[in-house]
Chain A
Amino acid sequence: MMIFCALCYAFAVSVSSSLYVLLAESILPVILLCRKKFPLPYILKLNVINALMVITLALTWPDLREGLMMGMVIAWRVNIIYVVFAALVFPLGLGAVYSLAMPEKFRVLVILTVRGIFILRDSLDSALVSAKLRAPDAGLMMRLKIFAYVLGSVLIRSANRSERMTQAVELRGGFKGFMQDRKGEAAC
């Protein structure tokens, strides 16, 4: 429900261009900013990127003044939307995603992609470190080759691991075992 509300709010902000409407829509993020602690570096980084975007739009827009205004409106919208998401959605974590209404196959895909990220992260890092140690002065082409070869190796290992994981799923009764929601209520 929280995710749905946040998305609706973000949509409303995205389609707003009136300054008064944006001002009204800024009340919620201001309240959220006052109530919760926000990682300041994240907000600053967001606005550095916004600043670049404002300049780019101003320079590429048919009319310079209009481009600058548009850039600032977009930057304003971005800040509102990100503060709302950061306060209301991101803290919910993955549990909220798993309990969203979505096709079961997709939910299983998301669950296993998360597992895959944590399983593969270390082995990819190790492979890249090892490659770097073995070719410390590699030029651009060599670096791209190394990256491609490491990627190939990780893809093959992932595919092989997926066969074993599929066997594990089948041995444990099949994909119905994924039908558990975070609150422990009956899902089947």
Chain B
Amino acid sequence: MHISEGILSGGVLIAGWAVTCAGVGVGLKRTDPAKIVRTALLASAFFLASLVHVKIGPGSAHLLLIAPMGIILGWAVFPAVLAALMLQALLFGFGGLLVLGVNTMVMAGSALAVYGVFGRAVRERGSLAMAFIAGVSGVMLAAVFAGICLALSDSGFVNAAKILAVAHIPVALIEGAVTAFLVAWLKKAAPEFLS
């Protein structure tokens, strides 16, 4: 899902950083200082999990975990994703620094949208169906946001943006399943974690 450096226009890059700064600002303001440690450790858990190769058929994939991050972190997802992507670039040389604003906006924005729409149903009622839909929606939203950024940068990217969205459907379904399994596990093993 990461958009590489050198592709997006100056305007989209600036807008990405503006949205990310706003999201991080609100996220930090809404995060109790006493909860910063929790946010950091959960962010590192998600970061490490997203590096895991999950074998799918003949190949493997990295999961984005957008819906789980949104549902569990809420507004703190913006600073958490920015921190994780920044560290990914600096520790592993993966992903860009200039395009960090847009990539954060795409992932955290999708996660936040999922939290807004499905958060209650999943956290309070532990609905597995909703968790599945949330997982699928998170990935598709991110693909759509990324596509919009590409299309706004240059109209020639429109077809590539459409292909990007379609190509993410299998990953979205897999993430839906993982989100549902995760919620089922948390509901049984640690229901207080969801509340």
**Chain A residues packing against B (C-beta within 8 Å):** 3, 6-7, 10-11, 13-15, 42, 49, 53, 56-57, 60-62, 66-67, 70, 74-78, 80-82, 85-86, 89-90, 93-94, 97, 103, 105-106, 108-117, 119-121, 124, 128, 140-141, 143-145, 147-149, 151-156, 158-159, 161-163, 165-166, 169, 175
Across the A-B interface, the 4 shortest Cβ-Cβ residue pairs: A116-B44, A77-B6, A112-B40, A148-B181
Question: Apart from A90-B93, A110-B87, what 6 extra A-B contacts exist at CB < 8 Å?
Answer: A7-B97, A62-B159, A109-B79, A147-B54, A155-B45, A165-B41
Q: Are B87 and A10 in contact, CB atoms less than 8 angstroms apart?
A: no
- Give the complex CA separation of A169 and B34 in angstroms: 10
Which stretch in B7-15, B116-124, B136-144 binds the other chain? B7-15
- Give the complex CA separation of A158 and B48 in angstroms: 12
A-B residue pairs in contact (CB < 8 Å), sample of 19: A10-B97, A11-B10, A11-B98, A74-B4, A75-B6, A81-B98, A85-B97, A105-B28, A109-B36, A109-B80, A110-B83, A112-B44, A113-B87, A114-B87, A116-B45, A141-B177, A147-B54, A151-B68, A162-B42
**B151-187 contacts to A (CB < 8 Å):** 154, 156-157, 159-160, 163, 174, 177-179, 181-182, 184-186
List, in ascending order, chain A residues with CB within 8 A of B40's CB.
108-109, 111-113, 115-116, 162
- Give the complex CA separation of A154 and B97 in angstroms: 28
Indicate whether A159 sits within 8 Å of B42 (C-beta atoms), given known contacts A90-B90, A140-B57.
yes
Contact of B159 among A61, A121, A148 (CB under 8 A): A61
Does B190 interact with chain A (Cβ within 8 Å)? yes
A106 to chain B, nearest CB (A): 6
**B6-41 contacts to A (CB < 8 Å):** 6-10, 13, 24-25, 28, 31, 33-34, 36-41
Closest residue on chain B to residue A77 by CB atoms? B6
| A-B contacts, CB under 8 A, total | 216
Q: Is the interface of B mostly helix, strand, loop or mixed?
A: helix
Q: Are B42 and A81 in contact, CB atoms less than 8 angstroms apart?
A: no
Does B129 interact with chain A (Cβ within 8 Å)? no
Q: Are A60 and B13 in contact, CB atoms less than 8 angstroms apart?
A: no
- Give the complex CA separation of A82 and B168 in angstroms: 26
List, in ascending order, chain A residues with CB within 8 A of B160's CB.
56-57, 60-61
Closest residue on chain A to residue B50 by CB atoms? A151
Q: Are B34 and A152 in contact, CB atoms less than 8 angstroms apart?
A: no
Q: Are A151 and B98 in contact, CB atoms less than 8 angstroms apart?
A: no
